[in-house]
Structure 1
């Protein structure tokens, strides 16, 4: 009987008829099994007799015998399904930071509806062990985690393909403060660590809460001491001996001064990279631009310039076998994006009349930014906002403006001299965030930044040369030492701090709350996100070479994509250099053709701004996503 006829027949029969047929078939099968048990063989005639049952009976025999052999009903598979459900619930609750009382309510509902094997509470579901200890010293509460245990636990989250041939671990540290509540001065000061593999894994080595900024560096001393032992002796993990090396310690300027036990950036000897003495002009400025005397590891450890160091204090990081100058890079997130870029925007919108934009130009730039929203791909955390909200912009928004959108929206709205001056800053950052460009054009970026600082004094006055602007003179050196600025920036740590803040539900037992949530999330496996080529804008634009770019139109055959390829790309800007150097082009629909491209060729992402007359502005995405 065909499958269609079987389906129709089973649909026509009532449940009573199906039950009657089932009993007849089961009786027939039982008699056949008894006969087989009494005789060693069954004659071919008897086998044929059983097989000659009508097709209707055969249908129900097949269906109902499958019911008894269905693997989903076996006890072992049932236990496996229950275990999988428990793991999936735990993973879901951790990923979305679901409150425990909500998880408890969900577990009770599931137990009522047949999942009696599930636990009653979220605490049991997650399997929290609470093996950490809370210490209180001088009013500062701390939770210290074992560095070796943390490294081992988080290494286990990586796929085997990443860790099979691992011989050494490259780590980065971060120390920063995190305000927790608007109605309280309570802040969290974690010591964060990142394992610089793919994907990067960030986790805390220490958690500290205080009513204000910690007055001493004691909260990092135990962590640094244990790290020093690991750097000397290595880490044993799953039978492997791994060498530990510290790439850098990334902090903003106040936190860096605190952990290094040196004067703050607002002091006369506040620069941690050179020995220049600042000048007072309503604020401390650094007028010297060239012929600077740079600090070295030896000069720092031997305190060649006592005015730079805090009296009778030694940095806890001095016990590590690292360069105390080069291992504390300038964080371009705080000092270039939140510092210099924000300062420029405030000068253009609220500064003195000689370099302030008119209200009409400010409105025009804001409208352009809002218009660009539809062209910004999803790899950016935030879409552009108008200049009226500039004080609420986040660091990623200032980076987006400095690297990509600023050169587009300011064109024709900002005075020519100011616009060209900004382009020097933007071009240098574009070079230094790209590993390829940093290696090839690092010295050129250094020249651009030196010119930017010198010209800034001429345009905006001596007060422009504050610490953040002065630090640009040392930025290129850090980018070349670490490969690019993103390899030594605080962006990944700031993103993790945001996750920690979401773990705090109330002001009671803050450290306990965070430690419990961290223990739960540490059990989630790490995976690299698959690169999916989108067919819809604005996520379908790619740069193929300095001469070609494309936008994906549709799926092709055999792992190919049908794309509209733009050729004969022209530079968008010629100041301070040909913008094709850092991936800013002008494309025309006239110089385009449809072509099938291999997916592997679509690696370098970009975004496209459509202008009138079929003209497109294409900008490569340079920073690490």
Structure 2
């Protein structure tokens, strides 16, 4: 057998530190030049003239002295006011710069408080509390519909901050997410935020509505207008011109939100698909979509009288006002809702709960359910801490999150289900597993073509295995998934996970029902769109002797680490080498080509040089050996299929 693939290409996401220079306001002096004019007098005796002249001189001197004192006093007051104004403006500018630096550099409040204490002896008017630095002018909210409050924060200011940090591409791509967010369990009130994100940034808030009902689609107008402005009027930062092409606007939504912002039929309608003209059929309980090769939609025909287009629309979408945006290709399928909360959740629920006659092959017996639940419990000890969650037993299935269904599909499912479920069910699951691991790893044309054929086979085989009612809209959307990857990159590139994490923080920042929009704005200002960058120290390693600490050595061979040390400036791991024995499965493709295999742990220990690009993996005991599964995007490194 050939070796497990280990070559990885690094994703360089370094950021250069930004230092603001603070300018001092020089004291300005005001110089008043005073000129005297000569006067002539006639017809006056000399003595009288001299006397009068003397009196007049004394009077003028006294008057001029008074005027000069008044002018000097007035000039002094003006100078004091001028200096005070400039000092206030300077200190206000410094405070703003410190606040921006605190946010963009992720400075903790404790450290910022210590810095302000040092600076106050030089700049007395600076605040003591760092929270004062990051206060913002709360934008005025207004009603766009009855009971619907709305505020627009903008896009450009966030893009400029990202560009200032040097992590925005010249021809940048922007991802826009729209979704509903319930706020309180005891109330119908909720948010509809509009979020933005670039390839290397965190999500940021563009606009938000708050009310009991879904907002009118016109709440997108300000966002659409600013996107058009960015397209027609590129902004400049540090001498670079940043351009937004209409083709680089990607709208990421789940199916209900997508149909709302596109103003098209929902996922339960007869013509819901934004990519093809498939027509659904109602089986009495749900809408099914069984056609595999429906005609592709064209943006140019979106306003045509063709029934497949006419029946698809329910209104006019504001996104149609973006000239150059393709209405059929720039709304990709979100893998979080489609795959993990959709397909994978549906499959597990069928295996565990469904008792219908059409699913007898798939339904697990009581013994199988106990075995699977026990395996999930045991698996907890082998999942690295890099994962946000560890497996939970089946009794908590209703509480599983999207990340847990993702973990099952991409990593643990093939191990847990092997020799447990019906062979036909297992092979059908592997079609989905292999396809999604490929699409999560790469957007290479040949690889996505392989994944597309696997997904098509999954859709075809699902009907005889699970019945026609399995052919819901989510299953149909699998046919378009690889096309999205060809356009936009691997699946994690256009996933809703970052936006969902942001929404979770957004919801938690609202502590009561009083002025929730203002609470949201204050919170959004404290969050930087820039990712936190930690200084990497390859020699600072906290090692715990657990099998999940295994890593790849620099030559691509996995090892079980016993000890890590620095020898002659190199990072060296001492441990036992894992030797590939065979594939975990060979159908539909060999498991080793997508990063899975059955390994034997060698008896001898060796030293292995390692570097920062090494890949971590999961190792799970399996029949006197170990199953090794390479991690994908958890390590934020690209993964290449083995030739």
Q: TM-score, normalised by structure 1?
A: 0.76
Matching of residues 112-123 of structure 1 within 5 Å: none
Partner residue in 2 for 1:4: none
Cα contact 1:224–1:317 (8 A) shared by 2: no
- Indicate which of 260, 285, 288 corresponds to 2:291: 288
Distance 2:108 2:345 in 1: 33
Residue 185 of structure 1, CA deviation: 1.1
Residue 442 of structure 1, CA deviation: 1.1
Partner residue in 2 for 1:608: 619
Distance 1:339 1:370 in 2: 24
Residue 369 of structure 1, CA deviation: 1.1
Deviations 1:184-208 (A, max 9, x none): 11111111110212xx321011111
Partner residue in 2 for 1:70: none
- Indicate which of 182, 185, 192 corresponds to 2:185: 182
Partner residue in 1 for 2:500: 494
Residue 523 of structure 1, CA deviation: 8.7
Query: RMSD of aligned C-alpha atoms?
Result: 3.3
Distance of aligned partners of 1:475 and 1:308 in 2 relative to their CA distance in 1, 3 Å threshold: farther
Cα contact 1:154–1:522 (8 A) shared by 2: no
Cα contact 2:261–2:317 (8 A) shared by 1: no
Deviations 1:269-313 (A, max 9, x none): 112221011000120001112x22111222235464344433452
Distance of aligned partners of 1:572 and 1:130 in 2 relative to their CA distance in 1, 3 Å threshold: same
Residue 519 of structure 1, CA deviation: 1.2
1:298 aligns with 2:300: yes
Partner residue in 1 for 2:30: none
Matching of residues 31-180 of structure 1 within 5 Å: 125-139=132-146, 140-156=148-164, 158=165, 160=166, 162=167, 166-180=169-183
Residue 621 of structure 1, CA deviation: 1.1
Partner residue in 2 for 1:208: 209
Distance 1:234 1:95 in 2: 31
Matching of residues 302-451 of structure 1 within 5 Å: 302=304, 304=306, 305-352=308-355, 354=360, 355-435=362-442, 438-451=444-457
Distance 1:544 1:295 in 2: 48
Partner residue in 2 for 1:222: 222
Distance 2:344 2:581 in 1: 29
Distance 1:347 1:151 in 2: 45
Cα contact 1:97–1:503 (8 A) shared by 2: no
Secondary structure at 1:338 match in 2: helix
Cα contact 1:303–1:309 (8 A) shared by 2: no
Deviations 1:408-456 (A, max 9, x none): 11112211111111111111111110026x4442111111111111111
Partner residue in 2 for 1:39: none
Distance of aligned partners of 1:548 and 1:440 in 2 relative to their CA distance in 1, 3 Å threshold: farther
Residue 351 of structure 1, CA deviation: 0.9
1:617 aligns with 2:627: yes
Cα contact 1:449–1:473 (8 A) shared by 2: yes
Partner residue in 1 for 2:484: 478
Distance 2:501 2:617 in 1: 23
Distance of aligned partners of 1:141 and 1:274 in 2 relative to their CA distance in 1, 3 Å threshold: same
Distance 1:497 1:144 in 2: 17
Cα contact 1:283–1:463 (8 A) shared by 2: yes
Partner residue in 2 for 1:41: none
1:562 aligns with 2:565: no
Distance of aligned partners of 1:196 and 1:124 in 2 relative to their CA distance in 1, 3 Å threshold: closer
Distance 1:531 1:357 in 2: 48
Residue 154 of structure 1, CA deviation: 4.0
Deviations 1:247-287 (A, max 9, x none): 41110000000111100010011122210110001200011
Partner residue in 1 for 2:39: none
Cα contact 1:377–1:607 (8 A) shared by 2: yes
Cα contact 1:542–1:550 (8 A) shared by 2: yes
Partner residue in 2 for 1:520: 526
Deviations 1:61-105 (A, max 9, x none): xxxxxxxxxxxxxxxxxx9xxx9xx9899779x99999xxxx9xx
Residue 169 of structure 1, CA deviation: 2.0
Higher helix proportion: 1
Structure with the bigger RCO (C-alpha within 8 Å, sep 6+) is 2
Residue 332 of structure 1, CA deviation: 1.2
Partner residue in 1 for 2:467: 461
Secondary structure at 2:435 match in 1: helix
Deviations 1:147-204 (A, max 9, x none): 2223213444x3x5x46xx52322111111111111111111111110212xx32101
Cα contact 1:154–1:201 (8 A) shared by 2: no
Partner residue in 2 for 1:585: 597
Distance of aligned partners of 1:89 and 1:298 in 2 relative to their CA distance in 1, 3 Å threshold: closer
Distance 1:583 1:167 in 2: 35
Partner residue in 1 for 2:12: none
Distance 1:368 1:534 in 2: 28
Distance 2:142 2:353 in 1: 48
Distance 2:416 2:337 in 1: 23
Q: TM-score, normalised by structure 2?
A: 0.74
